[in-house]
A and B are shown apart, each in its own frame.
Chain A
Amino acid sequence: MKAFFVGLVSRKAPLAAVLTGVMVTVAGLAVFGVRGAHAQNDANAEVHVLPVQGNVYMIVGAGGNITVQAGKEGVLLVDAGFANMAPKVTAAIKTISERPLRYIINTHAHADHTGGNEALAKTGSIIAGGNFAGTTTDIGNTASIIAHERVQQRMSEQKPALSFGMLPTDTYFTAKKELFFNGEAIQILYQPAAHTDGDSLVFFRRSDVVSTGDIFTPIGYPVVDLERGGSINGLIDSLNRIIDLTVPADKQEGGTYVIPGHGRLCDEADVVEYRDMATIIRDRIQDSVKKGMTLEQVRAAKPTRDFDPLYGATTGFWTTDKFVEAVYKSLSQKK
C-alpha cells in the first residue's frame, strides 16, 4: 500500500466511530427500506481517498466504502455511497482522475452502496457505438450500472419505487461477469445467499485488490439480511471465497488487498480473523440448534460474548442480539 492519502476534509471525529455508526444505522435502515436510509445519512460526513495499489483507490465516509479503479479508459466504481454524498464523492473522484466515469458496480442493493447510483452515473458516460448508440435516449449519456439481477429485483421491489436511474442498467445472472478495463481484468463474482441474495465480489486482477461489499465488514458483526435472502452459511462461504482469491505477500501480510464494505483497508489476514470469528459463532449456535435450544436460550448462553468487545453493539439497528437472532434463524430454516 502506498504510504500517503488524500484527505479531502480534515478529520474531526474518530473515523471508526463514524464508520461504525454509519454502518449500523445504514445497514439496518437499508434492510427496512432503501429510501429510508437517505434521510438518516449525515450529509456533513467527511470523505477521504486512500490509494490502495495499482490502479485502485478507496473512498471512505460516503456510506459504504467505494472502490475506484482509474486509467486512460475512464473511471470504474464499486458501489456508490449515499445519494446525498454524490457531490463529495464526485469531488473525491476528480482528485484521482479527470476521465469520465464509465461503470458503477453494485455489490448489493442496500442504499449506503447504491444511493449514489443515479447522481454519479449522470456525471459519466459509457462508450457506446455502432448501431447501438442513439437507439435509446440514455445510451452513452450515463455510466453503466452493473449488478447481479437480484440487486435489480430487490431495488425494483422498493416502496415507494426508486427512480429508473437508480437501478442497475446491466445485470448478470450467471456465476460471474467479466470486464477488461484500463488494461485490467476485472471479475465480478456472484455470492449467493451471503449478506443478501445478490452479493458480488469484485476482483481487480492486475491491481490485486478485492472489493467485498458488506460480506466483509470488520468493524462489526456481519449483517445477515435474512429478509433479502442472506444466510450465515452463505456469508461464511463467501468469506472463504475471499480467502481463496487473496494471496498474501511475505509474512502473511499485504499481497492482495481487500476493501471491505465498511471499515479500514484490509488484507487476507484480516479476513481470516473475521472468518474465524463468524465460523466459531456459527458452530456454537449450530450446536445449540442441534440440542433443540430456543432462541431465548441461545441468547441467554451468550455465544458471542468473547467477540462482543470487538464486534458487538447494544444500540443501533444491528445489535448483537439481532446478529444472534439472524444466525439462529438462518441455521434453523428448513433446507
Chain B
Amino acid sequence: MKSHNRMGLSVPLAVTLVFAAAPLWAQYEPVGEWAPRFHEDQPERIPGPDIGDYLGLPITDAARLRGDTWDASLLTLPEHQCKPHPSDYGVRGPANLRIWKEVDTDTQKVIAYHTHISWQAPERTIWMDGRPHPPEYAAHTWQGFSTGKWEGDVLTVTTDHLKIGWIRRNGIPRSDRAVVTEHFIRHGDYLTDAVIITDPVYLTEPFIRTTDWAYDPRQQIAPYPCESVVEIDRPLGAVPHHLPGTNPFLKEFSERFNVPFEATRGGAETMYPEYRLKLATEK
C-alpha cells in the first residue's frame, strides 16, 4: 500500500518535472525539416519578378535607377554565377529549410541555431549565447552575422555584416549597411519568418515580408554544388548593364498586367492600401 502510494504520487510528479525542466519555449522551437509554401508572392518567388516590377517596395530613387539599368546577363559572368541568396532573401527562393540547434554539452544551453536552405545550400548560424557582433572592419558574408533571442514564443534574430545583396532579384539592391530583423514564429506544423530590412542606403522605410513553411519530417535536401563556367565569350572585364534611359523592357510588366506604370515604379507609397484609392481617384 505504501509502495502503491509512492507510485501514485511519482507519476504525476515525474510528468510535472519533465515539463518544468523543459523551457516553456521548447515546443515553439523551429527545429526540424520545413517545406516551403508559395501561396504568398508566388509570381515573384518562383517564375521570378518581372523587369521593372518595383511594386510595393519602399525604394529610393537610387535603388530605382539600379533596377532600371540592371541587365540579367550580369548573372552569366562566372564571378556572379555561384552567389547564394543573402540570408534576407534566401527564404524567398526554392527554400527547403532545415533548422537544427547546437547545445553546450555541459550546460545544455543553446549556443546557436543553424539553418540550411536548398538553393545553393547556404548555411547560417544564429548565435544565441550573447556574443557581440564583429567590428566593422571584419568581413561581410552572404549570410551575415546573426544573433538571436527569445521574445515570448518568437525567436527574434538580428543580422548585420551582410554583403551587398538584393531586395528583389530584378536589380533592386540592398546595401551592405542594412540591418535585418527576423521573427521566427511557429504555429504547430507551420513556421513563419517575418523579415524586416532596414537599409539606410536604398530604402526609405523598413521593408517587411513574410515567408511560410510546413513541417515535413520526410524531407531530404539534396546537395547543391556550383561550379562557374564561361557561358558567353566576352571581352575581359565586360559588365552587362543598360545605360540610363535605354532599358527597353521596363514597361513590359506594366503593359502585361495592365498596372499603371507609375505604380510599378515602387516607392513607400505603393506599399499601402491607400495607394490603390489614389490611383483610382487619379483615373
In the complex, chain B residues 113-160 whose Cβ is within 8 Å of any chain A Cβ: 120-122, 134-142
CB contact between B135 and one of A48, A275, A307 (< 8 Å): that residue: A48
Q: Are A310 and B201 in contact (CB under 8 A)?
A: yes
Classify the secondary structure of B's interface with A. loop
Q: Does B202 belong to the interface (CB within 8 Å)?
A: yes
Q: Does A240 belong to the interface (CB within 8 Å)?
A: yes
Q: Are B62 and A60 in contact (CB under 8 A)?
A: no
CB contact between A310 and one of B80, B175, B236, B239 (< 8 Å): that residue: B175
Q: Does B37 belong to the interface (CB within 8 Å)?
A: no
CB contact between A240 and one of B134, B164, B236, B241 (< 8 Å): that residue: B236
Complex: A267 Cα to B62 Cα, angstroms: 25
CB contact between B82 and one of A248, A287, A310 (< 8 Å): that residue: A248
Query: What is the number of residues of chain B that contact chain A, defined by CB distance less than 8 Å?
Result: 39
In the complex, chain A residues 221-259 whose Cβ is within 8 Å of any chain B Cβ: 236-237, 240, 243, 248, 250-254, 257
Please, what's the 1-or-0 string for B65-98, where 1 marks a CB less than 8 Å from any CB in chain A? 1100100001000011111100000000000000
Q: Are A276 and B239 in contact (CB under 8 A)?
A: yes
Q: Are A50 and B138 in contact (CB under 8 A)?
A: yes
Q: Are A266 and B139 in contact (CB under 8 A)?
A: yes
Q: Closest Cβ of chain B: how far from A69's Cβ, in Å?
A: 18
In the complex, chain B residues 35-83 whose Cβ is within 8 Å of any chain A Cβ: 60-63, 65-66, 69, 74, 79-83
Q: Closest Cβ of chain B: how far from A289's Cβ, in Å?
A: 13
| Residues in B lying within 8 Å of A, measured CB to CB | 60-63, 65-66, 69, 74, 79-84, 120-122, 134-142, 163-164, 175, 201-202, 226, 236-239, 241, 243-244
Taking A5-B134, A252-B83, A269-B142 as known contacts, 16 extra A-B pairs with beta carbons closer than 8 A to each other, sorted by chain A number, are: A1-B139, A3-B134, A48-B135, A236-B237, A237-B237, A251-B122, A251-B142, A253-B84, A254-B141, A273-B163, A273-B164, A275-B237, A279-B238, A283-B241, A306-B61, A309-B175
4 interchain residue pairs of minimum CB distance? A306-B65, A279-B239, A15-B136, A265-B139
| Residues in A lying within 8 Å of B, measured CB to CB | 1, 3, 5, 7, 11, 14-16, 19, 48, 50, 58, 60, 236-237, 240, 243, 248, 250-254, 257, 263-270, 272-273, 275-276, 279-280, 283-284, 287, 303, 305-310
